[in-house]
Amino acid sequence: MILPQRVDCDKCGAVLYEGEELKSPEDILQMYDGKCPKCGRNLSLTPKKIEVKAASDSSIEKFVK
């Protein structure tokens, strides 16, 4: 199942956030005091890569109900 939002560290690929509830970049930075917990890189509000994937029919039905 693909969750609505996933945020990874651009340097090491650590998953900083993954969940159904959408979180702002500011909230995610605050969760880690602005640094990746795995590699220590300073996190930025500027996205490096944005990927959008189509939702499956079953995941759409979950949110419509």
Measured between alpha carbons, how far is residue 32 from residues 1, 13, 35, 63 in Å? 26, 15, 6, 29
> Does residue 42 form part of some domain?
yes
Per the structure, the complete domain to which residue 40 belongs is given by 1-46
> Does residue 32 form part of some domain?
yes
pLDDT for 65 beyond 70: no
Q: What 3-state class would DSSP assign to 8?
A: strand
Give burial (CB, 10 Å; 0-12/13-18/19+) of 54. exposed
> Does residue 14 form part of some domain?
yes
> Does residue 3 form part of some domain?
yes
> Does residue 35 form part of some domain?
yes
> Does residue 55 form part of some domain?
no
pLDDT for 61 beyond 70: no
pLDDT for 58 beyond 90: no
> Does residue 31 form part of some domain?
yes
Tens digit of pLDDT for each residue in 15-48? 999 988 889 989 999 999 999 999 999 999 888 8
Cα distance between residue 65 and residue 55, in whole Å: 15
pLDDT for 60 beyond 90: no
Please give the tally of structural domains in the chain.
1
The residue with tokens 């090491």 is: 12
